[in-house]
Amino acid sequence: MLSFFQKLGRSLMLPVAILPAAAIIIGIANTMIAIQEKPNAVSSFIQNAGLSILGLMGVLFAVGTALGMAKKNDGAVALAAVVGFFMVSTILKPVNVALYLGVDVAKVNPGFEKLDNSNVFVGIIVGLIAAYMYNRFSETELPMALSFFSGKRLVPIMTAFASMFLAFILLFVWPVVFSGLVNFGEMILGLGPVGAGLYGFFNRLLIPVGLHHALNSVFWFDVANVNDIVNFQQGKGVEGMTGRYMAGFFPVMMFGMPAAALAMYHTAKTEQKKRVAGLLLAGSVSAFFVGITEPIEFAFMFVAPVLFVIHAILTGLSMFIAASFQWTAGFSFSAGLIDFLLSLLNPMSNQPWMLMMQGIVFFVLYYVIFRAAIQFFDLKTLGREDDMAEHIDEGVAEGEGKYSAMARHIIKGLGGEDNIDTLTNCATRLRLEVKDNSVINVNEIKQAGAAGVIKSGRTQAQIIIGTHVQQVADEVERQLDR
């Protein structure tokens, strides 16, 4: 079950990756409107281009979930997801529901109006169905008379029938499900700043098992009627309120994580500081500019879990403070400088520069607390290990790419090619299915430059790489295909 939700969390990152494009396009439009003091044909054209992406979030999540959960990234499963999603959304249009139930359209449950192209909840369900159909039927051989529909051609067909059945179930169940999701969202919203703080706390705690993406979808998209990212980017909602489930991350990611890295560097053994400086500096730059914090977090997550609990508490505190003072800024990908600057152009931003002031305070908090905890508890963070092995520094052979040596050692650390079944990646991690993860040499992989390794069950493993994970994944795949 844990493996399923980890894989689902990775899948949800695929549609999220398109959001920066929407944010940049909308940011350009907002800038033009601010300069001209009113929209014109050009700015409206650009703004609608960005909003069109946000209006298709349900479809994007259907495709992303299907591709992520299927055993192969195949176009057939993506096509099946699109077919299934549009079948459900069309069948359950309010005007059609009124016809089925024999009532006036005005009496149809308002929840059916939410079953449009932006419905992330239905997108995820349909994506899971399409992935199941692909995994189950993509290699099925039908009798000779029907052989044209065998294999991958069968996947969209089976998904279509399953989607019809799903639409029939939702016809009666959706009003109850929708009401439950809305009540949950309203409960969290009703907690105000405390709800934002609790979300921030659990968001960090779920990182080790990769389930934070699933939690994020509840608050950032229209799963429980919160929809914080989309509402912020569309300029809808209440100023000072919309964006509260994003704003508090900026002080933590842009300032807190670099401060934690600095604390680990200053407490490292003198002879190891040069070795750890590169990794911590790269992680800090990534956190500040892009909002990718996992390379730093995994440097202390497992070797010093007390620091990670402190980190989760401080994140919750940051979210609470920002929400209490109604300082808001938003992001499309993560809470780094790039997204912060883009959010300044958004009319939903409210006193965003105060988040930078808060960030300076949190830089001091993180540095003082982390340094004191590392020294007081003698925590074995980077550069303080008792049995430190030398970091692999192997030159790249002529004709090889930049990541060749790293990929070779990762494959070796995983137990060789024969132990690797599948390889995928998300924004910062390599995600693998192996025959036996007990043979994985964690030290070998870390010495190759990875920030950390996570094992789950007997066949699952994740390797935390950082923002250059795609290049590493491509090189590993290239070497595996030789």
Segment 54-76, tens digit of pLDDT? 788 889 989 988 988 888 878 89
Taken in order of first residue, the domains within the chain and their CATH numbers are 1-182 (no CATH), 190-385 (no CATH), 403-481 (3.30.1360.60)
Q: Residue 16 above 80 pLDDT?
A: no
Instruction: Determine whether 158 is an active site residue.
Output: no
Instruction: List the catalytic residue out of 261, 310, 426, 427.
Output: 426
For residue 429, which amino acid is it? Answer: R
Segment 199-239, tens digit of pLDDT? 999 989 887 766 677 678 788 887 777 888 889 988 888 89
Buried b / exposed e along 420-440 (16+ C-beta atoms within 10 A) = beebbbbbbbbbbbbeebeeb
Segment 110-163, tens digit of pLDDT? 888 878 887 888 898 999 999 999 999 888 888 877 777 788 889 999 999 999
Segment 283-301, tens digit of pLDDT? 898 889 888 887 788 788 8
Of 27-31, 366-370, 434-438, give the range with the top mean pLDDT.
366-370
